[in-house]
Structure 1
Amino acid sequence: MIEEKPRLCEEQYFNDFYIKNVQSATNFAYYKCGDSDAALDLVQDAFTKIWENCAQIDFNKVKTYLLTTINNLFLNTIKHKKVVFQYEKEVPNLDITNQNPEYLLEEEEFKLKLQNAIASLSESQREVFLMNRIEGKKYREIAELLDISQKAVEKRMSAALKILKSQIENI
């Protein structure tokens, strides 16, 4: 007894099945993901899986297999996006440009220049600058903490910024 090739593996039958079902499959995928490009990708991947596994699929249940495959592919993309999102949450400051050694060297040089420039400020200027730029305090809060006027804080900050600007280009 010669085993017959399943009808789904016949190119003409598969093409007919594709033409008959591609629109409804695309609609189904679109309703799932809400993105027409992603929906087309899901549908194409699903039809590819059907073609690759045509010998194992009962051609009487192929429409169900198609929709189930689209649904599973969609769920897999959601799972993948969750993993990517979780990773981005855990490693938020990973900067691709940091891979460049030249960039790292320039960054180190800039940090050194900045540290030296901050060190060259008078104690009162440095105190106001760091409270504002590092701790994020407002001039009013700094004035209260140091028991000086807000105008004095503004004057110290202005002087600090002038010194920093003169010592470091592009700041």
Structure 2
Amino acid sequence: MLAPSSPRKFALFSVVAVAALVTLGVLFYQSLGAKQAMPNVSFTNLKGEKISSQSLRGKVVMVNFWATSCTTCVAEMPKMVETYKKYNKQGLEFVAVAMSYDAPNYVLNYAETRQLPFHVALDLKGELAQSFGDVKLTPTTYVIDKQGNILKRYVGEPSFTELNSLLEKALAA
């Protein structure tokens, strides 16, 4: 048999449960708008030059994780080159990061034969991929604003219409 105070306890429990759910909902909604900063990393391009995330501040940056063995990566690369050439003079920087399992000589050959106009970096130990949230799937591309905040992460080939629109907004800001 229920004690006379049971309905009050149930009502109090219900109010606490609803308040907890509302709080969780608000926190989740706020996290959607929270800006995530680009990790503090240093890329080494194929020429041996170091590019720190700090040195990229003030520019819009695309960081593209790719591999020569990834057919989607190879298919999207000419569009990435076109995008870079279109926006570079407006302040776009681009770093193509070859995954740790990609043979360095394949990456070098690909970059040279395709005359990639942007920085190409090797991630020999997988530390860059780890820093960007443990990237496993390629291609994965990050768009970073002038303040160093990640605006968007694309897994797979992006819609270049959407990407161009995002870049134009970020470059104009």
TM-score normalized with structure 2 length: 0.27
Q: Which structure exhibits the higher relative contact order, with contacts defined as CA atoms closer than 8 Å and separated by 6 or more residues?
A: 2
**Could you say which structure has the larger radius of gyration?**
1
| TM-score (normalizing by structure 1) | 0.28
